[in-house]
A and B are shown apart, each in its own frame.
Chain A
Amino acid sequence: EDQVTQSPEALRLQEGESSSLNCSYTVSGLRGLFWYRQDPGKGPEFLFTLYSAGEEKEKERLKATLTKKESFLHITAPKPEDSATYLCAVLYNFNKFYFGSGTKLNVKP
């Protein structure tokens, strides 16, 4: 049974076209939810940590939100350099992180 599901698998946007990525989780007792950005052939780069429902974090064009069942990564007016795979991970047991399979974002100029 999947613990973490990300949607869509792939997303193509025009530059400036805002959208949202979804991360839903089925585990109970969430201790933290993490968003990462991964460029091809590289390790994931940390973006945000969210700990409780209602929490929001922002960084430049990105904003992450958390509810009891899912998290959204909102991308406002994206640029081509935002193209990457965005990974979501949840921590519900001590030191065990569960990752989604990612959303591959492509922003066209």
Chain B
Amino acid sequence: DGGITQSPKYLFRKEGQNVTLSCEQNLNHDAMYWYRQDPGQGLRLIYYSQIVNDFQKGDIAEGYSVSREKKESFPLTVTSAQKNPTAFYLCASSIDNGRALPDTQYFGPGTRLTVL
């Protein structure tokens, strides 16, 4: 089955620790994204990547880092510099082949991160 997987589903972090959230897709999509979702708010873009070995900051990149070494994988590291990391994190992907009409984003199941 094609799709996007995220792991773990639940993650607990102690203050001062870095943690890495996994996102893998087998849809052969070029673009991948990380969003953060807080109660009562819309999804906010953290980072996105249009191609391997390239990525751009979104609206709330401070305290986060990413890498894109493989087309299928786009891990997100939540560093100790992120002041309020407790949230639901969503990974998404889309085809990005330069066509005139933008393609839909498809989402993974999410990772809920809680800081203890």
Chain A: residues with CB nearer than 8 A to chain B? Answer: 4, 31-32, 34, 36, 41-46, 49, 51, 87, 89, 91, 95-102
- Chief secondary structure at chain B's binding surface: strand
Could you tell me the distance in whole angstroms from the C-beta of A29 to the nearest C-beta in chain B? Answer: 12
Could you tell me the distance in whole angstroms from the C-beta of B107 to the nearest C-beta in chain A? Answer: 4
For the A-B complex, the count of residue pairs with Cβ-Cβ distances under 8 Å equals 59
Q: Does B25 contact A (CB under 8 A)?
A: no
Q: Does B31 contact A (CB under 8 A)?
A: yes
Whether A87 and B42, one on each chain, are in contact in the complex, defined by CB atoms closer than 8 angstroms, is: yes
Contact of A91 among B40, B102, B106, B112 (CB under 8 A): B102
Collect the chain B residues with CB atoms within 8 Å of residue A4's CB.
42
Could you tell me the distance in whole angstroms from the C-beta of B116 to the nearest C-beta in chain A? Answer: 20
Whether B104 and A34, one on each chain, are in contact in the complex, defined by CB atoms closer than 8 angstroms, is: yes
Task: Give bound CA distance, A101 to B40, whole Å.
Answer: 6
Q: Looking across the interface, which residue of chain B has its beta carbon closest to that of A42? A: B109
Whether B58 and A44, one on each chain, are in contact in the complex, defined by CB atoms closer than 8 angstroms, is: no
